[in-house]
A and B are shown apart, each in its own frame.
Chain A
Amino acid sequence: MPELKELSKKIELIDYEKHILAKKSLFQLLKTLTVLPNSPIIYHQVIAKLVMTDIGGNKANMLYKTLFKWQEERHAELIDLSIHNHMIVFAGHNNDLDLAEEAYLNAKDYIKRNPNETHDVIKTYTMMIDALKNIDNLNRAYEVFLDAKESGHVDVFIL
């Protein structure tokens, strides 16, 4: 789909260091998202950029919630694991334990539904531990670590 490719390129070109410029461009993009094709990649890109710009964080959260609604309406999978992972990171940076737990649960649910997609699974646990570290909740972080061990998703980076 050429339009999708164009849009993807445009998003990648947004420089997240120029926070406010990025905000403006991203918000313009967000307006067009409602008519976008069902592509998790695009949403992943937009959420990743929004999270990185800091100031777009709330919009990222809103979009994350809206995606679940759109998923139901469109009967299509719009949220992949990397989107959940980004939200976990965002929650960690914002000391938002509830959001971290919500995104983590959604991620685990996704992993359960897609057992063959092993890509990014260890990241989910690693990022959740890191987020909980930021939130100063070490006990919960250790629980997540034990979860990861139990599910067999352990590598040196999670240690």
Chain B
Amino acid sequence: MIKAAGYCGNMDLADKVYEEGLTNYSKNEFLHNKFIIMAGRNNCFDLAKKAYRNALESGIDSKKIYCSIITAAGMNGKFEVALEAYRLAEKNGKLDFITHCAMICAAGKNKKNNMAYALYLEVANKKPTLELHSAIMDILVRNGDFEKATTIYKNNLKQIKLKILAANVYDYGYDYKIDLHGYSYGSAYIALKEYLKECLATNIIPNILIVTGKRVDSKKTKDDDATAAIKEAVKNLHKEFKSFFDFSEVENNSGCFVLSKTKAPISISTYTLSESKNAPVAASIPEVDDWTQILTPEPIPPKWSPKATSSLANKYKSHQPQVKSIDDKKVKTPDAEEGWSTMRGRKGKK
């Protein structure tokens, strides 16, 4: 109920239900956590802080609570509170890579880019993950620091490089498929841009299906924040590369784009790769209410099948930089690792 009220923007009702819940469930992490997330999302930071204090006073000392308050504080410009919670989590041994990501994002949103970068370097040396790279690349790209973001991309290809999957035989008409689940605006932008540059350099432009997030029927449902950010990245890349590529939305599923060679008679060899000058910078960092939202488990890609490619794909198969098989595509998610399941989406557990 708190979640429903929070999503509909009615924090008074959410607060009422939360206060009622305290009678019987004051020691339950779920109650406080949900409320902190919703209060943060609705810019009611005082309420979030109240629930955070309640949780601490009830003896709840969990990674989830720290992560949620850091995210909420980051979203609401309360960097000091985020830092305080982060230090307390560190002192109590409750830091994990999700909390690090939350802190990096909080720092980025509050214009503490150097601190975000320093923290990233510290953590990435110990445990580099796609999420960590995504978080820092998002901050860098949104601030126009494409060079540093590209360096991170090139130094961490193992985690960030796009997996170009063989299209399933049922994905009619496409040669390959790129799945951007788990990417942020920044990491999707840089990874996709580097791939497009590779295509231009080799003069090979296959017909590719780009999956930006969960399936969205624009007539019925709205994008979640993670999908919206990736779509923004794809659309901005389109602006930059529109002379060479066509990006079109898949009918009845605005979560997917089709990338193909433009029909305009332009010679690819004339293209000069201008780095950051023309690259559009996103207006703002989207709000993310919990980490499972941007760290959605990736769907298992279809196995390679000789029948699965069209003649065009066969023609270009030998030129493809990387065609990954099913086993290559395993990204750990908080759901899988921490059991942080949420009620969001079809994969969430109640």
Q: A132-B4, A138-B13 are in contact. Are A159 and B221 (CB under 8 A)?
A: no
- Does B330 lie at the interface of the complex (its beta carbon under 8 Å from any beta carbon of A)? no
- Is A142's CB under 8 angstroms from B168's CB? no
- Does B260 lie at the interface of the complex (its beta carbon under 8 Å from any beta carbon of A)? no
Q: A18-B302, A130-B3 are in contact. Are A138 and B20 (CB under 8 A)?
A: no
Contact residue among A18, A89, A95, A142 (Cβ-Cβ distance under 8 Å from B1): A142
Number of residues from B at the complex interface, CB < 8 A: 31
- Does A136 lie at the interface of the complex (its beta carbon under 8 Å from any beta carbon of B)? yes
Per-position 1/0 for B1-23, Cβ under 8 A of A: 11111011010010001101100
- Does A4 lie at the interface of the complex (its beta carbon under 8 Å from any beta carbon of B)? no
Q: Which residues of B contact A123 (CB under 8 A)?
A: 350
- Is A157's CB under 8 angstroms from B215's CB? no
Give the CA-CA distance A157 to B25 in the complex, in Å. 10
- Is B350's CB under 8 angstroms from A133's CB? no
Per-position 1/0 for B196-234, Cβ under 8 A of A: 000000000000000000010000110000000000000
The closest CB in chain B to the CB of A23 belongs to B170
Per-position 1/0 for A41-54, Cβ under 8 A of B: 00000000000101
- Is B302's CB under 8 angstroms from A157's CB? no
The closest CB in chain B to the CB of A18 belongs to B302
Q: A17-B299, A133-B3, A156-B30 are in contact. Are A126 and B350 (CB under 8 A)?
A: yes
Q: Which residues of B contact A80 (CB under 8 A)?
A: none
Closest beta carbon of chain A to B303's beta carbon, Å? 10
Give the CA-CA distance A132 to B13 in the complex, in Å. 15
Q: A133-B3, A145-B17, A159-B2 are in contact. Are A20 and B168 (CB under 8 A)?
A: yes
Q: Which residues of A contact B30 (CB under 8 A)?
A: 156-157
- Does A78 lie at the interface of the complex (its beta carbon under 8 Å from any beta carbon of B)? no
Q: Which residues of B contact A24 (CB under 8 A)?
A: 170
| Main secondary structure on A side of the interface with B | helix
The closest CB in chain A to the CB of B3 belongs to A133
Q: Which residues of B contact A21 (CB under 8 A)?
A: 168, 170, 302
Give the CA-CA distance A141 to B5 in the complex, in Å. 9
Q: Which residues of B contact A101 (CB under 8 A)?
A: none
Closest beta carbon of chain B to A54's beta carbon, Å? 6
- Does A61 lie at the interface of the complex (its beta carbon under 8 Å from any beta carbon of B)? no
Interface centre among B7, B34, B215, B350 (most CB of A within 10 A): B350
The closest CB in chain A to the CB of B300 belongs to A17
- Is B25's CB under 8 angstroms from A156's CB? yes
- Does B91 lie at the interface of the complex (its beta carbon under 8 Å from any beta carbon of A)? no
Closest 3 CB pairs of A and B: A133-B4, A20-B170, A17-B299
A interface list, Cβ under 8 A from B = 15, 17-18, 20-21, 24, 52, 54, 89, 93-95, 123, 126-127, 129-130, 132-134, 136, 138, 141-142, 145, 156-159
B interface list, Cβ under 8 A from A = 1-5, 7-8, 10, 13, 17-18, 20-21, 24-25, 28, 30-31, 34, 168, 170-171, 215, 220-221, 299-300, 302, 343, 346, 350
> Could you show 22 A-B contacts with beta carbons less than 8 Å apart?
A18-B168, A18-B302, A21-B170, A52-B346, A93-B221, A94-B220, A94-B221, A95-B221, A123-B350, A126-B343, A130-B3, A133-B3, A133-B4, A133-B7, A136-B8, A138-B8, A141-B4, A156-B21, A156-B28, A156-B30, A157-B30, A159-B17
Add 20 more A-B contacts to A138-B10, A141-B4 (CB < 8 A).
A18-B302, A21-B168, A21-B170, A52-B346, A89-B346, A129-B4, A130-B3, A132-B4, A133-B7, A138-B4, A141-B1, A141-B5, A145-B1, A145-B17, A156-B31, A157-B343, A159-B1, A159-B2, A159-B20, A159-B25
